Structure 1
Amino acid sequence: MLHNTFCRRLAALVLTLAVALSAALPGFAAYPMPVQTATETESVYLFNADTGKTILSQNADQQKYVASLTKLMTALLLVESGKDLNGEVTVPTDLTQEFKDIQNANGTTMGLRIGETVRRIDLLNAMLIVSANDAASVIAWDVGGSVVGFVQQMNAKAAELGCTGTNFTCAHGLFDYGNVSTAQDLAKIAAACAENQTFAQVAGTASYVLPATNLRKAERTISSSNSLMNSESANYREYVQWVKGGFTTLAGRCIVAFAQQDGHSYGLVILGCDTLEHLFTECDDLFDWAFASFADRPLVDTQTVLTTVDLNKCRTEPSVELYAAAPVSGYGHSDDKVSYSFDLPESVSATVKEGQKLGTATVYLDGYEVGQVDLVTHREYVSDFRTDIKATLLLLCALILILCALGFATLRCGGGLTLNQRRRQMKRRR
């Protein structure tokens, strides 16, 4: 019994350490790349946006130029700043040189002018839908007090989110040198963006009407050129929620995209792709693979023994078999392994009732916690005391019956002898 208890405790310790290690290292069990990327230097990071679990990872921790994906952080700081998005900002003369630098770099703009008054929500839409670099610079000046001050906020926020390979030098990403991140870091930034309802709504908008301003008398419509969200494109996917792309000569084609289907969400980062066509095709292939390869599936039923507990005061049974009180399902790949950790007493004493709860099990799928379930018995385990009492009572009953039978036989035999003796006595008297 002591040996069994020691083995069981050792197994439980090993399981607990394994689960703790897997939880501490999310993404260690990434899956093989299902599609061929353009080059070996391309960075790809696909993750489950609901759990944070890494699904695919290639060069995900390598620093790369990230072009306009920089604007994700700019947008995040704006929507988290508490500033009134319907409030207006006047473009200051402080940005004169900034606007010239953007123009010299052939950067995309929304055509802002010094002295023009625009709403923050219009700046946010222009920055995310058409990647307007001038809008990013105005947001930086408005939120940070200056472009330099805002860049400091960007790097502080990146560190707060756990980014270790990120360094921002501008608010828009048009200027490459020193403005770097990793696919893994961008996933953290994108996940924080996705949690903000305003960001998700704006980033998922295909077109937007910019109203007239003090320097522009007519409204105008801006539209995204992103094929993943264009219903007329072969790359269109209905499940794509929002996309932010980027490009510079050094950065290559870059993208961050979020998709949701049947209540499950994925985030995807690709850096350093060679062509725009391949970038969109790769996004489609990876999202299609994810939604086809992962599904809800049963993990625990109520008819399979999950574990046992040592049983005392019962000679006929060394342990109690425990079952899940309810079925447990989880979302994962067909190759994902199911594991458990248990909260159980070291032992129990009989009698144990049928259906009695004796502990709980935490269910993990590929090292990620799925849920908890009560552990119950499926039958009664009777104590030695009850068994012995029953056996004793049966023995006593048997003894009583035997004694009664013997007594009855004795009486019958004793009574017949006396009658014969009387008859002999009567004959002698005659």
Structure 2
Amino acid sequence: MKNKVLTHRLTALLLLLTLFCPAFTPRAAALDDPKIDATAAILVNPDTGMVLYEKSADEKRYPASTTKIMTALIVLENANMDDVVTAEEADFHDVTWDASNADIKVGEQVKVLDLLYALMLPSANEAANMLARHVGGTIENFVDMMNARASELGCTGTHFVNPNGLHSDDHYTTARDLYTIAQEAMKDETFATVVNTAQHRMAKTNMHDERIIFTTNQLIFSSYQPWFYAYAKGIKTGHTSEAGNCLVSYSNRRDAKLFSVVLGCADAPDSSTVAKSFTETKRLFEWGYENFVSKTLAKQGDAIQQIDVRLSADTTKLVLTAGRDLNASIPKDLDPEDMEKQITVPESQNAPIKAGDVIGSMTFSYGGVEYGTVELVALNDVELSKVLYYADKLENFFKGTVFKVILVVLLIFIVLYVIFNLTFGRMRRRKQRKMMRSRYNRYNRRR
């Protein structure tokens, strides 16, 4: 009986909390951790910048051939795709018999565009060296360009020593930095086309007939394999014994875009499957699409807040609106109406004001997680009243420090003047009385 009464009381309490305290509304359990089997990983919606998943994303790791994303970006920004590069002996100094290559020969003349395909599909190390030498003059200069570009992009955990990703203790990056570099590279249409190509026919050269090269990216290589992912659009694989298996990938599913980076994945458990970098990336994409959805939290032009206006004869209020559409990736079971909205605006704004002026901001969050911030802008122009402006200046002058200093000086002057008059006035009166007594005494003596 007591248990039933207790149950009814708890139910009633929960109902009251639900009705009057939205923060206590029962929700679905927190998202399940996908438990990605990698030493570092990150999953990001590039349209919103929202990180959906991360694991040791800022820890320094060896990137292996995912380095070539930056190599390709520098080439695309500095070279003509029709330029022809002649392979030199030095381009092969670090290309061992078991290193990734495109079977380019010393003295072979290859167009830059074909070298890019060789760089990004079979991950040819000699192509990386040829491109670096062509663009930078020397490989060392090109590496300096890579590091400078990484710094420009805001990469704080990255340092390159070569253009191909062969191991060096001083050659490292982070999952977050690789996402930043890949996002920038994917803005280039040529890059996006190259990395989403499963096979490419290289043009005939002075030393080769036409030949077909294949991608190492198993997510896009063959639709007949279980690890194939139809929404994947590249980008780059990598592997060394020190780095493990790495993959930077991009997915576009019904205009919902995701970038994924996994580093340090294990090798294939047996010959019938692939390295875990592919299966873990596919699983991470599927987890992201299953658990998150893109929603509009604010629409451009939505009226958000009113604040007071000063120094205008036209109005005393200013309407603030959302400066742009704010889209965010949020958990599927989260209603945007339940999100906390932190509005940061001044109590008042002085005229003149132009429509579109940024006045404040509004941040959406839930459970301590921020999902996006939108600027709040003035809805309309507000003209300045010169009468009110100068009246305000005068009022501020009387309230200001300068006026207070002048007032203090003036008071000191008055006090000193009074003291002076009191002091020297007595002295004059004494002198006058003394003179009068002297004259009186002289007069009496003459009588």
Secondary structure at 2:252's aligned position in 1?
Answer: strand
How many residues align structurally?
Answer: 322
| Alignment CA distance shift 1:214-1:373 (3 Å) | same
Q: In the alignment, what sits opposite 1:221?
A: 212
- CA deviations on 1:165-205 (whole Å, 9 max, x unpaired) are 11111110123332111111111111111111111111111
Aligned with 1:286 (options 281, 284, 287): 284
What is the identity, as a one-letter code, of the residue corresponding to 2:330? H
TM-score by length of 2: 0.63
Letter in 2 for 1:341: I
Which amino acid in the other structure matches residue 102 of structure 1?
A: V
Alignment correspondent of 1:92 = 88
2:61 pairs with 1:103: no
Equivalent-residue separation in structure 1 for 2:107 and 2:224 (angstroms): 39
- The corresponding residue for 1:62 is 59
The residue number in structure 2 matching 1:183 is 175
1:171: which partner in 2?
A: 163
Contact 2:297 2:327 in 1 (8 A): yes
What corresponds to 1:368 in structure 2?
Answer: 372
- Preserved contact between residue 68 and residue 174 of structure 1 (Cα < 8 Å): yes
- The residue identity in structure 1 corresponding to 2:80 is D
Q: Over residues 122-166 of structure 1, what are the superposed CA-to-partner deviations in whole Å (9 max), with x where a residue is unaligned? A: 000011011111110100111111112211111111111111211
Question: CA–CA distance in 2 between the matches of 1:372 and 1:323?
Answer: 6
- Match of 2:148, SS state, is helix
Distance 2:109 2:214 in 1: 21
- CA drift of 1:298 comes to 5.7
Match of 2:69 in 1: 72
C-alpha distance 73-324 of structure 1, shift in aligned 2 (>3 A)? closer
AA in 2 matched with 1:90: T
Pair 1:46-2:46 in alignment: no
> 2 CA distance for matches of 1:67 and 1:134?
15
Over 3 Å counting, the alpha-carbon distance change for 1:131 and 1:308 in structure 2 is: same
Tell me which residue corresponds to 1:113: 105
Indicate the residue corresponding to 2:417 in structure 1: none
Instruction: Give the equivalent residue in structure 2 for 1:4.
Output: none
Query: Which of 200, 204, 207 lines up with 1:212 in the alignment?
Result: 204
Deviation sequence 1:370-391 (CA, Å, 0-9, x none): 5768889xxxxxxxxxxxxxxx
1:308 to partner: Cα distance: 6.8
Deviation at 1:93, TM superposition (A): 3.8
Label 1:37 to 1:249 Cα distance change in 2 as closer, same or farther (>3 A).
same
Q: How far 1:37 sits from its partner (Å)?
A: 2.5
| 8 Å CA contact 1:207, 1:221 repeated in 2 | yes
Work out whether residues 90 and 116 of structure 1, in 8 Å CA contact, stay in contact via their aligned partners in 2.
yes
Give 1:297 deviation, angstroms.
3.6
Deviations 1:395-414 (A, max 9, x none): xxxxxxxxxxxxxxxxxxxx
CA–CA distance in 2 between the matches of 1:139 and 1:323?
52
Structure-2 change in CA distance of 1:341 and 1:110 (3 Å)? same
Retained in 2: the 8 A contact 1:107–1:174?
no
Q: Which residue of 1 aligns with 2:148?
A: 156
Q: Is this contact kept in 2: 1:258–1:266, CA < 8 A?
A: yes
Instruction: Show CA shifts across 1:271-317 (max 9, x none).
Output: 1011344222211121112122222446469xx99667689xxxxxx
TM-score scaled by length of structure 1: 0.66
Name the CA distance, whole Å, in 2 between partners of 1:228 and 1:159: 30
Q: 1:68, 1:245 within 8 Å by CA — same for their partners in 2?
A: yes
Q: Indicate the residue corresponding to 1:426 in structure 2.
A: none
Q: Distance in 1 between matches of 2:304 and 2:86?
A: 66
**Whole-angstrom CA distance in 1 between matches of 2:134 and 2:213:** 23
Deviation at 1:36, TM superposition (A): 1.6
Q: Is the 8 A contact 2:251 2:258 kept in 1?
A: yes
Distance 2:320 2:146 in 1: 51
- Which whole-Å deviations, capped at 9, do the CAs of 1:61-101 have from their partners, x for residues lacking one? 111111101111110100000x2102211113443xxx142
Could you tell me how far apart the structure 1 residues matched to 2:296 and 2:189 are?
Answer: 32
Indicate conservation of the 8 Å contact 1:339/1:367, yes or no: no
Distance in 1 between residues matched to 2:132 and 2:32, nearest whole Å: 38
Q: Percent identity?
A: 31
What CA deviation, in whole Å up to 9, does each residue of 1:335-363 have, x standing for no partner?
4735253658749xxxxxxxxxxx99855
Separation in 2, partners of 1:341, 1:179 = 44
After superposition, the Cα gap between the structure-2 partners of 1:62 and 1:72, relative to the gap in structure 1 and judged at 3 Å, is same
Unaligned runs of 5+ in 1: 1-30, 312-319, 348-358, 377-430
Change (3 A) 1:92 1:47: same
| Cα distance, 1:373–1:202 mapped onto 2, change above 3 Å | same
CA contact (8 A) 2:120 2:194 kept: yes
1:244-259 to structure 2, matched below 5 A, reads: 244-259=236-251
Q: In structure 2, how many angstroms separate the alpha carbons of the residues matched to 1:332 and 1:266?
A: 10
Shift of 1:328: 7.2
Provide the rounded CA distance (Å) in 1 between the counterparts of 2:373 and 2:37. Answer: 35
Structure-1 residue corresponding to 2:431: none
On the 8 A contact 1:361/1:375 being kept in 2, the answer is no
> Where do 5+ consecutive residues of structure 2 fail to align?
1-29, 268-273, 310-316, 350-357, 365-369, 381-447
Provide the rounded CA distance (Å) in 1 between the counterparts of 2:148 and 2:321: 46
* 1:215 Cα deviation from its structure 2 partner: 1.1
SS at match of 2:94: helix
Between the aligned partners of 1:126 and 1:325, the Cα distance in structure 2 is 47
Residue range with higher mean Cα deviation, 153-162 or 67-76: 153-162
Correspondence for 1:145: 137
